[in-house]
Amino acid sequence: METILLLAHVEADGSLAKSAREALRAARALNKTIAASNLFVALVGQSVQAAADSIAACPATKYFGAVGAELGHSRYATDAAAAQALCKAAQATIIVAPATSRWNRVLPGVAQRLGGRVDSHLTGIGAAAGKPTVSRWYYRQRMEATLTRMQRPWFMLIDPGSQTACDCGAGAAAVELVPVNLAEASRRTTVIGIRQPKADAQTIRPDAHLLFVAGAGWTKKQADGQTHVPEAEKLILDFLKVTRASLGSSKSLVDLGGEGQAVLPFLSHLNQIGQTGATPRHPKGLSTCCHGEEPHTVGWRFIGQRRAISLDPNCGWARGKADVLYVADAFAVISKANELLAANPSEI
């Protein structure tokens, strides 16, 4: 009999993140599909009661918690000890968890400790002939595989944004607290804090409705034979400001910045999407001045509606990949779009 454990960490404010609710929905779906399976919930954090209560109406029949000040931080050694203790307490055979940076870091190691296996960046969980199956992408989102495993425990890390979040209601959950033995060695690392750009300089917005992709064309010579980098910078930042879009970039543009050239200074490798960057999830995507083939376009594998602006009507980035390709000068189009959007910001 399978025991399915939703394993999540609580946020600093004691709440459960949307990604945890998405994983819970996936765990519940698996629980419904596999006959006679159990569904349990395990939470890690400084305190977990509020988070457990917030999903108490879900069909889980047991709640486990690992709590303490040391577990309020995202740190491998302490997180591994807590996750290991919870999995053992629940006698879990399948552990479903959100693929957050915190869990991505630690749960593969916990799988190793428990003699299990782990699959990450999952985009789907299902069952075939009563056996659980998972779907994930290989070779940087270029091919999708469905697989199953015999080994247990099996850790399944669900990519945030790939599932619908559960809407379980609140209630009162009886949480069984599980002791975690933290060796002195587990405190060799201290979390100092979080570093982030100032709010108005943050260009990566995972929850944005729109992904704006800037390609290297913004820094190339334009029709007058000159580059217009300061103008490009202003146009892009104005667009982001008025639309609250998230900014992605091609590798070539980011690399130019890394090589010390004075181009679009607000771009970093964190903005990079594609073969060697991120594959963010947004409902809409607008690429500008991009060119290239498959390695670049995988960057918007998970973008819903896609439009592109390029001077090249045969642009490999757009043909067959975008819904609409505007053959036009992005400088002129974005300048006009900024005017229109700024005139009615409340409509966005």
Among residue numbers 34 through 93, which ones bind another protein (CB under 8 A)?
Answer: 74-77, 80
CB nearer to another protein: pick between 56 and 296? 296
Strand order in the sheet with 175-177: 131-138, 117-128, 154-158, 94-98, 3-9, 38-45, 62-67, 175-177
The piece of 51-59, 85-93, 107-115, 220-228 that touches another protein (CB under 8 A) is: 107-115
* Euclidean distance between CA atoms 68 and 105, whole angstroms: 20
With CB under 8 A as the contact rule, the residue among 162, 186, 219, 250 that binds another protein is: 186
CB nearer to another protein: pick between 228 and 319? 319
The piece of 20-28, 59-67, 229-237, 329-337 that touches another protein (CB under 8 A) is: 329-337
With CB under 8 A as the contact rule, the residue among 35, 36, 69, 147 that binds another protein is: 147
Closest CA to 140 of 307, 246, 250, 273: 273
The piece of 33-41, 88-96, 190-198, 223-231 that touches another protein (CB under 8 A) is: 190-198
Query: What Cα–Cα distance (Å) separates residue 89 from each residue in 14, 150, 172?
Result: 22, 21, 21
Number of residues forming the site for another protein (CB under 8 A): 105
The piece of 62-70, 163-171, 218-226, 307-315 that touches another protein (CB under 8 A) is: 307-315
139 in contact with another protein (CB under 8 A) = yes
Two tokens, residue 286:
């607008």
With CB under 8 A as the contact rule, the residue among 68, 124, 161, 295 that binds another protein is: 295
CA-angle at 79, arms to 74 and 80, nearest 5°:
140
313 in contact with another protein (CB under 8 A) = yes
| Sites for another protein among residues 239-278 (CB under 8 A) | 243, 255, 258-260, 269-272, 275-276
With CB under 8 A as the contact rule, the residue among 12, 170, 262, 324 that binds another protein is: 324
CB nearer to another protein: pick between 5 and 337? 337
- Using an 8 Å Cβ cutoff, are 208 and 94 in contact? no
* Euclidean distance between CA atoms 164 and 140, whole angstroms: 23
Biggest CA pair distance of the chain: 71
With CB under 8 A as the contact rule, the residue among 149, 228, 241, 316 that binds another protein is: 149
Burial per residue of 196-234, b for 16 or more beta-carbon CB atoms within 10 angstroms, e otherwise? eeeeeeebebeebebbbbbbbbbbeebeeeeebbeebbe
**Phi (first) and psi of residue 72, to 5 degrees:** -80, -15
- Least separation in angstroms between CB 20 and another protein: 13
With CB under 8 A as the contact rule, the residue among 62, 117, 228, 241 that binds another protein is: 117
341 in contact with another protein (CB under 8 A) = yes
| Sites for another protein among residues 151-170 (CB under 8 A) | 151, 160
The piece of 36-44, 47-55, 225-233, 335-343 that touches another protein (CB under 8 A) is: 335-343
* Euclidean distance between CA atoms 122 and 154, whole angstroms: 13
